[in-house]
Amino acid sequence: GVIYQGRADINQWQSAHAVATEKRTLTEALDGADVFVGLSAAGALPASDLLKMAPKPIIFAMANPDPEITPPEAKAARPDAIIATGRSDYPNQVNNVLGFPFIFRGALDVRATTINDEMKLAAARALAALARQQVAEEVAVAYGVRHTFGPDYIIPAPFDPRLMEIVPVAVAKAAMDSGVATKPILDLEAYRQTLKARLNPTTS
């Protein structure tokens, strides 16, 4: 049910996110909603609930291995929806392999004292920018299709080799700019080239 203010059967972590609302069910909460982020169980989101959502709803159905609603089911109910899951056999795979390795790489390379919000936002923005670029040949071969930015391609594929050179640089720069880097990198372009060379030792 809805985590609402005044609800007695919730813990301290849930109560920190409680909102003032009269809504008590998922169906009620989705009425007019722009976004659904599912972190629950397979089949938890009925297709009929999507009909109540705002135009062009964003649906992140992240339960694994089976999402709260499958993309075919969601698209049948709402052809205008943007849908992501954790699955590699559906479009828009959201996977921590897109973030964690590269966030840690950038943080470690500048010996950051912490991983702060600025660094995480830099990683997210780098991913968003990469998704808008032409898809790498390796990705097209891996998926058997050349994606372009749009409803079925809102996030880079885990196979994209450019992740290694783009995201750590953004994270390292954010760490330096926010004052948490203890070993700043003076030449970020040279750093990018060293990252690229780790994937391909023949890179010049």
Same domain, yes or no: 21 and 61: yes
Q: pLDDT (tens digit, 0 to 9) for every residue of the chain, 204 residues total?
A: 789 999 999 999 999 999 999 999 999 999 999 999 999 999 999 999 999 999 999 999 999 999 999 999 999 999 999 999 999 889 999 988 888 999 999 999 999 999 999 999 999 999 999 999 988 777 777 777 778 899 999 999 888 889 999 999 999 999 999 999 999 999 999 999 999 988 765 544
Same domain, yes or no: 103 and 182: yes
Residue 181's DSSP bridge partners are: 112
Is residue 91 included in any domain, yes or no?
A: no
Is residue 204 included in any domain, yes or no?
A: no
Is residue 131 included in any domain, yes or no?
A: yes
Give the tens place of pLDDT for each residue, 112-150. Answer: 999 999 999 999 999 999 999 988 777 777 777 778 899
Is residue 80 included in any domain, yes or no?
A: yes
In contact, 38 and 62? CB cutoff 8 Å: yes
CB within 8 A of 50, min separation 6: which ones?
A: 30, 57, 59, 69, 74, 77, 78, 81
- pTM score, whole prediction: 0.83
- β-bridge pairing 58-61 and 82-85: parallel
Same domain, yes or no: 101 and 171: yes
Same domain, yes or no: 81 and 114: no
Is residue 109 included in any domain, yes or no?
A: yes
Q: How much is the pLDDT for 51?
A: 96
Where is the domain boundary, 65, 85, 105? 85
Same domain, yes or no: 106 and 24: no
Give the tens place of pLDDT for each residue, 79-99. Answer: 999 999 999 889 999 988 888
Kindly report the CATH number assigned to the domain that includes residue 194: 3.40.50.720
Count of other CB atoms within 10 angstroms of residue 86 = 18
Domains contained in the chain, number: 2
Strand order in the sheet with 58-61: 35-38, 58-61, 82-85
Where is the domain boundary, 53, 85, 117? 85
Q: Which domain holds residue 118?
A: 96-199
Q: How does the average pLDDT of the chain come out, rounded?
A: 92
Question: How far is Cα 26 from Cα 16, in angstroms, rounded to an integer?
Answer: 19
